[in-house]
Amino acid sequence: MSDKPVIITDQATDQSLELPVIRGTEGDPTLDINKLYKNLGYFTYDPGFAATASCTSDITFIDGGKGILRYRGYPIEQLAEKSTFVEVAYLLLYGELPANDEYEAFRHDITYHTMVHEKLNTFISGFHYDAHPMAMMAGVVGSLAAFYHDRMDPKDPEHRALAAKRLIAKMPTIAAACYRHHMGWPVAYPKNKLNYCERFLDMMFSVPAEPYEINPVAAKALDLLFILHADHEQNASTSTVRLVGSTGANPYACIAAGIAALWGPAHGGANEAVLNMLNQIGDVSNVPKYMAKAKDRDDPFRLMGFGHRVYKNYDPRASIIREACHEVLDDLGVDDPLLELAMELEKIALEDEYFVRRKLYPNVDFYSGIIYKALGFPTSMFTVMFAIARTVGWVSQWLEQSENPTRIGRPRQVYNGPTVRDYVEISSR
Ligand code: SDX
């Protein structure tokens, strides 16, 4: 659909400029402001990039008003019900659902890249036992560049394809090794006869002293959570990966930067913060006190797992996870009072004018931790789980950018510092 341009006029000079309108296959129209500074001498100011498109992409579409999320056009609800995480990884990476032979070849490649260099385990053993696993992940994933420096040129298509598979395959291995270092257990090596989620559970929880039984309910729940967390267009960590990628940095540095960005409690760190918050609230009788804190501008407390920059409706992932909570906890025979507390908190918040007016709904992080906890993961590993899944999105977005490199990302600023002044000798200060 061709859109008429938007004309802006500078009232100070009476100069006008036609801004072309860019319209994608889905989503809101966007103004191309490329000529704004050159023609009218103005930058645009948009802290937090709330109204700024940083790139074009074919990968993931979100409609925040309608609560829609699609990977390469496929609704998240259908993928959650019918697909698997490895198949979704193929879809996000290559743009189409794989035929059987394509799927098997991809699954084989991912499976046979799960090992890491033994020296990486030595690196992990150097951390203090109580190091936060996200701190370890950011360091260790970045250090993969020290092992693969001969094949990580972002300009080389073969190197890009190999790095993509290596990262997706090795994230669970590294995550499990970080957890086991904390537990004081020996590393459990990947078993290639298992599928992606079974293998990760085995690497996490098996102990040498006895055989480890994979619980199919746990493996299926993990696969679902990984599908739901795989990509989410230009969120903070993905934008970080793209910005680092725009400098020509190697893929391991880009993904390590994404891990660091995801760790923040306003982003992927929220799933850990939600469980800590629910434990802090403790009982439904305390909900009113914490709701008041969440609404108090002078109180830093926020209802973690609530609100979203894009979703001004229910996060479709949160709906799916909330349903899965009941099934998984029932199947596992787990009775977690925190689930009831979370649902009561959601109910009260969604009836509260403060949350209704600001369109604050539960997001992907509100319920996910309850399932992770039921599967035996410690709270400190929750964001690591998010990072394992989001590596597929980060890598897909990095590939898309690397295939059509953009100029280096370099935002400008509004300078409010001191105007020019001369140096004063210390003797005169
Ligand atoms: C993820 O971007 C993505 O796609 C991210 C993600 C992904 O898949 O990659 O979806 C994953 O990061 C989900 C979000 C997880 N974070 C949390 O749950 C942390 C709690 N949420 C908030 O910090 C907040 O809602 C954000 C960070 C998620 C969104 O922040 P925005 O868009 O900058 O919104 P805002 O801070 O401007 O809030 C608007 C208003 C403010 O009140 P007023 O100034 O209008 O009075 O809503 C209030 C905020 O104070 N508000 C909250 C709130 N979230 C927003 N008040 C209480 N509790 C909250 N959780």
Q: What is the mean pLDDT of residues 375-381?
A: 97
Strands 30-31 and 60-63: unpaired
Among protein residues, the one with the nearest Cα to ligand 1's atom 16 is 266
- pLDDT value at residue 326: 94
Of 202, 231, 315, 365, which one is the catalytic site residue? Answer: 365
Q: Is 293 in the pocket of ligand 1 (CB under 6 A)?
A: no
The response to whether residue 322 sits with its C-beta less than 6 Å from ligand 1 reads no
CA-nearest residue for atom 23, ligand 1, is 266
Overall pTM surpassing 0.75 (yes/no): yes
Q: Which spans in 184-249 are helix H?
A: 196-205, 216-229, 236-245
Q: Is 317 in the pocket of ligand 1 (CB under 6 A)?
A: no
Q: Is the pLDDT of residue 359 over 80?
A: yes
Q: Which atom of ligand 1 is nearest to the CA of 363?
A: 13
Confirm whether 308 is a catalytic residue: yes
What is the average pLDDT score of the chain?
96
In this prediction, residues 15-41 reach a mean pLDDT of 96
pLDDT at 150: 85
Distance 168 CA to ligand 1 centre (A): 28
Tokens found for residue 382: 């929750």
Name which of 298, 265, 287 is nearest 349 in CA terms.
287
* pLDDT of 347 higher than 80: yes
Q: What does the buried/exposed string (b/e) look like for 122-131 if buried means 16 or more CB atoms within 10 Å of the residue's CB?
A: ebbeebeeeb
234 C-alpha vs ligand 1 centroid, how far in Å? 15
The residue-averaged pLDDT of 92-101 equals: 98
| Catalytic residue (choose from 182, 229, 308, 315) | 308
CA distance 366 to 345: 10
- Ligand 1: which residue has its CA nearest to atom 3? 235
Percentage of residues of the chain with pLDDT beyond 90: 98
Is residue 323 over pLDDT 80? yes
Check if 270 has its Cβ closer than 6 Å to any atom of ligand 1.
yes
Q: Is the pLDDT of residue 106 over 80?
A: yes
Of the pLDDT bands very low, low, confident and very high (cuts 50, 70, 90), residue 224 is very high
The confidence band for 354, taking pLDDT boundaries of 50, 70 and 90, is: very high
* pLDDT at 406 (0 to 100): 87
| pLDDT in the model for residue 2 | 62
Taking only the tens place, the pLDDT of each residue in 272-314 is: 999 999 999 999 999 999 999 999 999 999 999 999 999 999 9
Residue in the block written with tokens 């298992």? 194
Q: Are 312 and 359 in contact (CB under 8 A)?
A: yes
Shortest-distance Cα residue to atom 4 of ligand 1: 235
- For atom 32 of ligand 1, the residue with the nearest CA is 309
Which of 69, 228, 306, 367 to probe ligand 1 with, by most ligand atoms within 8 A of CB? 306
Flag whether pLDDT at 60 surpasses 60: yes
When pLDDT is averaged across residues 161-179 and rounded to a whole number, the result is 98
| pLDDT value of position 126 | 97
- Given a contact cutoff of 8 angstroms between Cβ atoms, the answer to whether 387 and 327 are in contact is no
Q: Does residue 326 carry a catalytic annotation?
A: no
Q: How far apart are CA 313 and CA 63, in angstroms?
A: 9
Q: Is 306 in the pocket of ligand 1 (CB under 6 A)?
A: yes
Please tell me if the CB atom of residue 302 comes closer than 6 angstroms to any atom of ligand 1: yes
Task: Tell which atom from ligand 1 comes closest to the C-alpha of 294.
Answer: 57
